[in-house]
Structure 1
Amino acid sequence: MKEEKKHEAGLRTVQRAIDILYCFTLEEQELSLTEIAKKISLAKSTTTRLLATLEQNRLIVKDPETLKYRLGQGLYYLGYIAGKSMEVREIARPVMERLRDETRETVNLYVLEQDARVCIEQCEGLQALRHMVRIGERLPLWAGAGGKVLLAYQSPEVQERIFAQVPTKERLDRLTAELEAIRERGVASSVDEREVGSAAVAAPIFDIRGEVGACLSVSGPAHRFTREVMEQFERLVKEGAQAISEKLGYRP
């Protein structure tokens, strides 16, 4: 019984230390002892002991002038290791396989590369007639669901460069109107756009900074992408992209 209580106390201490780390946000990067103690509902004396331990392990740093605390270099180092080990391709693969099984269509993972998109991972469709993109192939941002969903979340400067590539004014007008709708709905679609006879839906993947540098896409022959099917695929691809985003550390 005594050992069990000791174990529970140890777990509480670990949890409280974790709670302290999660007190810090982008909006509140520095906090005083009083602010931290209030956030985690602990006495200042207990909070001080926990902060001292975190400080010894370089997870917390105390400013000697302001006496405020901030996250330390140890966390930056651990975050760097975590980032290196969490490649988007590895994170996305299980989600892509599940999405491929649900839709039976080809699922692609695109990343932004300068002013184009590149397919870096693919799960081939399960049907005899399927749409394929070559791994490493560079494709435009102004055509196709994957390109448009990436373009929709880029800066105005990037968008202006891409707009200059659009071949006709009519197509440019249609594209600019569509980008706003894509941002509102969080999903893009295309039929007979980049390739005649093909259709696709795509959703953005957000990183920990809330930026979009990748997207998830489901594509196949246009005749199978009826309105009802596309609505279903849009829901599924948004859920898949959201799951990947969360694993990358994104919090809306």
Structure 2
Amino acid sequence: MTDPSSPASMQSVRAIERAIDVLQCFSLEHPAMTVAELGRKLGLSRPTLYRLLHTLERKGLVRSSGEPARFELGHGVAGIAHVWLARLDPARLAAPVLARLWHDTNETVALCLPQGKMRVCVLEHPGRQPLSYARGVGDVDSMAATASGRAMLAFLPPAEQEPALEDAGPERPALLRELEEVRRAGLAVSGGAIAGIRGVAAPVFDRTGRVVASVAITGPEVRLSGERLEALSAAARQAAAEVSAALGHAGGLPAEDAAP
């Protein structure tokens, strides 16, 4: 067995690290780069870069074209990405994030998914305090009726919003104004639907920027108010951002001009 601390093994590890560095140089802003541009970015010599690029090209991870040659990511990257993307499941990826959120807040935390004009709870940790409230996994409610639903509803395309808006009846104008505020704040807050209970929820986005879930914190109004409400709101946003990142989302809320 090869000693991992031997010079040969260390050299192989450095070569792998450099190859990964090359692949990570490419971005939406810089989809294609010359050897000279890569060299300036990575601080590597031309001979080293050419060896790395030719190896990556043989494996289909980069391709070159033009004169001077410009390199870009190849079809092999798509194959690797497909395997990763196929395994992206919001509930599975959110589980450790929600467990930590529950531990840090001591309140009921949940992950909800959109289902037509309804929202369904797929993951929940009930609060550990004597006075708490939990709906339970599998609970289904109107998108417009809960913070967890409105956090998603605000970012859905207009056509997908419409069924929930129709159910709002005369409350539709007020609901539309609230959804605008949710888009600006990146957070929905509810209170009053169930006497004495308040919830805060933040949207979760996938790699395409589509809203696919929400992270919610629920508890009695006597605890979810003032500075504690602000702290829990920040915690919900942070947890939702972590789940979004795990799903491949680049970060941030959709642009205001792209919102419905």
TM-score by length of 2: 0.82
Q: Is the 8 A contact 2:105 2:232 kept in 1?
A: yes
SS of the equivalent of 2:51 reads helix
- Which blocks of at least 5 consecutive residues in structure 1 are unaligned? none
Pairs within 5 Å for 1:1-252: 5-63=7-65, 67-168=69-170, 171-193=171-193, 195-252=194-251
> Within 2, Cα distance between the matches of 1:182 and 1:245?
17
Helix, strand or coil at the partner of 2:72: strand
C-alpha displacement of 1:79: 1.8
Quick check: 21-30 or 103-112, which moved more? 21-30
Distance 1:141 1:65, change over 3 A: farther
Query: Counterpart of 1:179 in structure 2: which amino acid?
Result: L
Shift of 1:191: 0.3
- Asked if structure 1 preserves the Cα contact closer than 8 Å seen for 2:117 and 2:161, the reply is no
Q: CA RMSD in A?
A: 2.5
Counterpart amino acid of 2:226?
R
Percent of paired sites with the same residue? 31
Contact 2:117 / 2:164 at 8 angstroms: preserved in 1?
A: yes
The Cα offsets for residues 186-236 of structure 1, whole Å up to 9 and x where unpaired, read as 22110013x344210011222223332111001123343233332121111
Aligned to 1:76, what secondary structure does the other structure show? helix
Range 5-14 or range 234-243, more displaced: 5-14
Distance 2:139 2:210 in 1: 23
Paired with 1:7 and 1:248, the residues of 2 have a C-alpha distance of 34
Once residues 65 and 165 of structure 1 are traced to their aligned partners in structure 2, the CA distance between those partners, rounded to angstroms, is 60
Alpha-carbon deviations, 1:108-135, whole Å to 9, x = none?
1012233332211111111344322242
Report the alpha carbon displacement of residue 65 of structure 1 after superposing the two structures with TM.
9.1
- TM-score by length of structure 1 reads 0.85
Do the aligned residues in 2 keep the contact of 1:106 with 1:218 (CA within 8 Å)?
yes
- Give the direction of change, closer, same or farther, for the CA distance of 1:80–1:176 in structure 2 (3 Å limit): same
Q: Which amino acid aligns with 1:142?
A: A
- Please, which runs of 5 or more residues in structure 2 have no aligned partner? 252-260
Question: In structure 2, what is the Cα distance between the partners aligned to 1:42 and 1:63?
Answer: 21
CA shift at 1:4, angstroms?
Answer: 5.2
Three-state SS of the structure 2 residue aligned to 1:224 is coil
**Hey, which bits of structure 1, 4+ residues long, moved more than 6 A?**
none
